[in-house]
Structure 1
Amino acid sequence: MRPRGKAEGRLWLRALEILQELSFCDCTILSMSQRGEHQESKKKLEISPSETMKAEEESYKEENKEPKSEDWRPPSVFGAADLKNRAVGLYNIGQTCCLNSLLQVFFMNIHFTKILRRISVPVCGTQKKKNVPYQMLLLLEKMQCGKQKAVSPKELAICLVAHGVTMFVQYDAAQLFLTLWNLLKKQMKNPELVEKLSDLYTISVQEHLTCQTCSSETKRNSSMLTLPVSLLDSDSHMLKTLEECLQCFFRPEELTGHNMCFCEHCGKKTPFQQSVKLVHLPQTLTIHLKRFCFGRSAYIHKISSCLPFPQDLDFNAVLTEQQCQAYDNEKAAWQYELFAVVAHSGSTSYGHYCAYIRSLTECKWYCFNDSLVEQVSWDDVKSTYGHSDLSWGQTAYLLFYMRKHRQ
C-alpha cells in the first residue's frame, strides 16, 4: 500500500534513496510461508533475542563506554493515547504497514509512553541516529506537535535498517514485535526503565516435565513476550473461541512413542508428561494467534476461520488450579480488557496489516490503517474474527489485553 499524494510520494522516494545510499536496501519479499517456525512447537517460548540482536551486541560495546547524559523528558510530548483533539497516522514508505501498526500500538499505550519519555539522550549524533528508543520518542513528539494528518517514520526506519531490520519487505507481525521490543530493551541505558519495560510486557511461566514411569519431575522457570496459541487442537480440529485456545495451550501433553524422553532415573527413554503453568501476567498481555501453519503437503497456509475473542478476559475463569502456579494476590490481578488488535488481510505470501486500538483516554475504538485513521465501532473490530469463506479478509493476528484497574 503506497502513499497516495505527491508529498507522500516524495517522502517515499526520498526514503528509498537514502536507504539505497546506505547499501542496506533489500527489496526481496519475505513470504510468511518462510516463517513456519511459528507452528513448529505448540508451546515455543518467544522471548529469546533475534539473530539481529546477536549481531548488534558487539557493535554496542564501544558505544557503551561513552558517558551517559542526563534523563531527557521533553515537556512537549503528551503521549499518542491522548486523542481528544485528533489521531495521527503514519505514512507507508514501502511495505511498512506492519511496522506502522505495531508503532501505533506502542504509542497508544500510556504505560509504554511513560517509560519512553524517561529515556536518556545518546551523547553524539551518530548514536542518536542508531538509538531505537530515542528515534521512537522523536517520532512520537513529531506526531503530537505537528499539524499533519500523518507523519513519515523515515528516520526510525533508517535507524532500524542500521540494526539489520530489512525494509521494503513483508513482515510477520509477531516476529517484528519481538525484534522491536528486544531493540528497545537493549538500548535503554537506565536499569530502572529496562525493568519497567520488562514488567509491562513479560509473561512468566513454569515448565514441568514428569516421567510417567518413575514420577520424577523437572521444573524450569521461563519468560515469554507473547502467548503463542494454536487455533487447532492436538487432533487438528479447529478451536471455537480464544478461551479454548488458551486452555489448549496450558493443557498437559503426553510425550509417547517417538516423542519419549530419556529419564536419568530410569536409565532409558520413557513416556513423559509436559505441561506449562502460568506464574505471572504483565500489565499489557500480548496473545499471538498462530494462523499460519503447515498443511498435509508441508505447504504453509493461513487459517482464516472465525475465532471470537472477548472484550473482557478473566484468566481465573479460563484456567484450572492445576494450570496455574501463582499466589492468590497475583491471580486477583488477572482481569483484562481488550486494548488493541493487529489484523492481517491477505495470504501467506502477500498481505496488509492494520491496527484497531481502543483509546485509553476516550474509551473509543480507532482503526489505524497507515496514514488513514478513523473511529470505528466494536462491530468493526469483531470483523477481524475471521471467516473460512473469506481467505483474503481481515483476521486478528495479535491481541493486546490491558489489565483492569483493581477496585
Structure 2
Amino acid sequence: MGQRSGCQERSKKPELALSETMEAETEVRNNDEETKEAKAKNQRLISVFGVADLKNEAIGLYNLGLSCCLNSLLQVFLMNIHFTGILRRIAVPSSHVQRKNSVPYQMLLLLEKMQCGKCKAVSPTDLACCLSLHRVKLFVQHDAAQLFLTLWNLLKKQMKKPELVEELRDLYTICIQEHLACQKCSFEVKSNSTMLTLPLPVLDANSHRLKTLEESLQYFFHPEELTGQNMCFCQQCGRKTTFLQSMKLVRLPQTLTLHLKRFCFERSSHSRKLSHCLPFPQELDFNEVLTENQCQADDSEKATWQYELFAVVAHSGSSSCGHYCAYIRSLTECKWYCFNDSHVCQVSWDDVKCTYGHASLYWYANISLFFPDAALDFGMRVAKRGKTNVLAWILPGV
C-alpha cells in the first residue's frame, strides 16, 4: 500500500509541472489576446472618431455660395463620434444613381475626403448636389434649425439597416409627455410625443428677457393656463373650459438639441432677431434644472441627464440674412476650434462665450444642441456632473 502510494505521488510531479507550464502558456496567450483586443479596440475607436479626433489638422469646407449654414451643420455632424460610428456602418448603395442620390453615402464620402485629404479645406460639392436632388436649394440662405431637421429626416429615411435607423433615433430624439387638465373637473389627457429639438424661448409671456439657458429650460417646462381663445373642449364638461397645459420630460437622447428661438414677429408680420445676452454653461445637469413635477422618468434614466458642451453654431446678421460658423470642441484634445467655412483656427472658451449674444458683438448663438455620450464601449462612464460622457452642441436660428 505504501509503495503504491509513493508511486502515485511520484506520478503527480510531472503532471503538476505540466499544469504550471500550461498555466504560464495560458497567461501569455491571454496577455497576447488582451493586447490584440486593446489594439482592435483602438482601431474601432479610430474608425469612429470625428474629423478633428484623428490628431490631424482640422479640415474646413469651402463655401459654395451661401452654404455657410450647411458647412457649419456638417462640421458638427462629422465631429460627433457617435454619428460617424453610425455613418460608417451604412449599406453602400448598389448602383451609381443610388449612390449619387444617397445623403448618408455622400456624407460618408465627404468624411473620408476630409480625413484622408492633405488640403486645409475640401469642397462639399457632391453632397450639396445630392441634397439639391431632394429639394434642398443651393445658393440660398438656410435657417440652421430647419436645415438640421431636413438633414436628419433624409438620413433616417435613406439608411436601409433598421438597427442603424434605431440608433439614429436614439442618438437625437427626445421623448416628452404632454398633460392637459381641465380646471373645472378632473378630466385629464396624457400623450407621449417625440421631438428632434426643444424649442426654448428667450422671452417670457410678458416679453421679459430670460437671463440664462437654465431659466429658459425652466420656463419651457412651466405649466401654462389655456384661457380665452386657447380654451379646449372638455369631454366630461361638454364644453370649452380652461385647461392647464404642462410637459414632462420622459427621455433625453445621446445628442440633445435645444433650439433657442431668437426671433419675434412684429405687427408688420416681419420677424426681428433677439440678440440679447443669454449665457449657457459648459456643464448642464437636468436634475438640477428641472423639478420632480417636470420629469416623468425613473432614476436610471435621470442618471444620464448630465451634459457637457461640445459645439456652438453661431449666426451673425439679421433675421433675413447673415453668416454661420461653428465652434467645436475636439473630443481627444479638449481644445476648441472655430470652423468658419474653409478657415479653421483654435480658439479659447472666452471666444466661445461671444456667442452668448450682445448687440455690440459679432456672433450670436441662436440654437443649442446637447449631446450626451452613453457609449460605454468607448470607455466613457456616466460621471457626476457629466465630466466624461456628455457632450453638448449649440446651434443658431434665424
Tell me if 1:197 matches 2:183. Answer: no
Q: Residue 406 of structure 1: which of 356, 372, 382 is its match?
A: 382
The answer to whether the aligner puts 1:139 opposite 2:115 as a matched pair is no
Aligned residues of 1:341 and 1:397 also touching (Cα < 8 A)? no
What's 2:185 paired with?
214
SS state of the match for residue 287, structure 1?
strand
Residue by residue, what CA displacement relative to the aligned partner does 1:145-187 show, whole Å, maximum 9, x if unpaired?
A: 1101000000000000001111100010000000000000000
The structure 1 segments of at least 4 consecutive aligned residues displaced by more than 4 Å after TM superposition are 75-78
Tell me the equivalent position of 2:244. 273
Q: What CA distance in whole angstroms lies between the structure 2 residues aligned with 1:224 and 1:105? A: 19
Asked if 2 retains the 8 angstrom alpha-carbon contact of 1:212 and 1:272, the reply is yes
Aligned to 1:396: 365
Residues 231-271 of structure 1 deviation map (CA, whole Å, 9 limit, x = unaligned): 00111111000000000100000001111111111011100
Q: Distance in 2 between matches of 1:249 and 1:89?
A: 36
1:337 maps onto 2:308 in alignment: yes
Displacement of 1:296 in angstroms is: 4.3
Question: How far did residue 78 of structure 1 move?
Answer: 5.5
Question: Partner residue of 1:259?
Answer: 230
Offset, 1:83: 4.6
How far off is 1:336 after superposition? 0.4
Matched, 1:320 2:296: no
Tell me how far apart the structure 2 counterparts of residues 167 and 191 of structure 1 sit (CA, whole Å).
Answer: 30
Q: Which one has a larger percent helix, Structure 1 or Structure 2?
A: 2
- Aligned mates of 2:268, 2:85 — CA distance in 1: 48
Query: Is the partner of 2:346 in helix, strand or coil?
Result: strand
Following superposition, the deviation at residue 293 of structure 1 comes to 1.5
Q: Which residue matches 1:183?
A: 154
Q: 1:246 to 1:325 in 2, by over 3 A?
A: same
For 2:174, give the aligned amino acid.
Answer: I
Match of 2:30 in 1: none
Measure the CA separation in 2 of the matches of 1:101 and 1:355: 5
Quote the Cα distance in structure 1 between the aligned partners of 2:253 and 2:50: 21
Is the Cα–Cα contact under 8 Å of residues 315 and 334 in structure 1 kept in the other structure? yes
How far apart in 1 are the matches of 2:215 and 2:267? 24
Does residue 238 in structure 1 map to residue 209 in structure 2? yes
Query: 1:282 maps to which residue?
Result: 253
Map 1:56-75 to 2 at 5 A.
none
Counterparts of 1:379 and 1:77, CA distance in 2:
29
SS in 2 for 1:381: helix
Give 1:299 deviation, angstroms: 2.5
Using structure 2 for the length normalisation, give the TM-score.
0.81
Q: Which residue of 1 aligns with 2:378?
A: none
SS in 2 for 1:401: strand
**What's the TM-score once normalised by structure 1's chain length?**
0.80
Q: Displacement of 1:389 after TM fit?
A: 4.3
Task: Look up the SS of the partner of 1:189 in the other structure.
Answer: coil
Change (3 A) 1:262 1:295: same
CA apart distance, 1:285: 1.0
| TM-superposition CA deviations, 1:36-94 (whole Å, max 9, x none) | xxxxxxxxxxxxxxxxxxxxxxxxxxxxxxxxxxxxx9x98853141512100000001
**CA 1:401/1:76 → structure 2, altered by over 3 Å: closer, same or farther?**
closer
Aligned 8 A contact 1:210 1:273 in 2: yes
Task: Give the Cα separation in 1 of the matches to 2:221 and 2:330.
Answer: 31
Q: What SS is found at the alignment partner of 1:262?
A: strand
Identify the residue that residue 361 of structure 1 maps to in structure 2.
332
1:173 pairs with one of 132, 144, 155: 144
**CA–CA distance in 2 between the matches of 1:119 and 1:381?**
34
| 2:326–2:338 contact (8 Å) kept in structure 1 | yes
| Higher relative contact order (CA closer than 8 Å, sequence separation 6+) | 1
CA change 1:76–1:108 in 2 (3 A) is closer
Q: Which residue of 2 aligns with 1:299?
A: 270
In structure 1, list runs of 5 or more residues that go unmatched: 1-72
SS at match of 2:51: coil
Instruction: State whether structure 2 residue 135 is matched by structure 1 residue 159.
Output: no
Letter in 1 for 2:102: N
Q: Report if aligned partners of 2:49, 2:80 keep a CA contact under 8 Å in 1.
A: no
Please state if 1:121 is matched with 2:92. Answer: yes
Corresponding letter in the other structure for 2:222: R
From 71, 82, 91, give the equivalent of 1:100: 71
- What is the alpha-carbon root mean square deviation over aligned residues? 1.5
SS of residue paired to 2:53: coil
Give the counterpart letter for 2:211 in structure 1. K
The C-alpha deviation readout for 1:357-387, integer Å capped at 9, x for no partner, is 1111111101000000111000000001011
| Conserved? CA contact 1:81–1:110, under 8 Å | no
Question: Partner residue of 2:218?
Answer: 247
Aligned to 2:3: none
SS at match of 2:366: strand
Number of equivalent positions: 332
Task: Indicate if the aligned counterparts of 2:159 and 2:165 stay in contact, CA closer than 8 A.
Answer: yes
Q: Percent identity?
A: 73
